[in-house]
Structure 1
Amino acid sequence: MMAVVGLSLPEMIILSRVMKKELIIRYVIFMFITFTIVGYFYNFIL
């Protein structure tokens, strides 16, 4: 559910107005890895 908000197309459009493409790519990769790790950790606990 976090990825829906964190990596949405409207957010990328808004960020493209204030950030360079390289930073947006780094942001997307970081958020994807973070959400994946949190998801695995959450499933491990349950």
Structure 2
Amino acid sequence: HQKVRTGYLELAAQNPARFRILDATMELERLHEEIATILEPYLNQKN
């Protein structure tokens, strides 16, 4: 599992617009707010 995490962190560092790193130890409500904030621009886009 550590190799997968390391690989993901490397990808995220190389392409921060595509990957997000979230702290899953934070309070659930705060994590939900952070996810919603990240996704909101994509959900509001018109194709």
**TM-score, length-normalised on structure 2?**
0.43
**TM-score, length-normalised on structure 1?**
0.44
Structure number with the bigger relative contact order (C-alpha 8 A, sep ≥ 6) is: 1
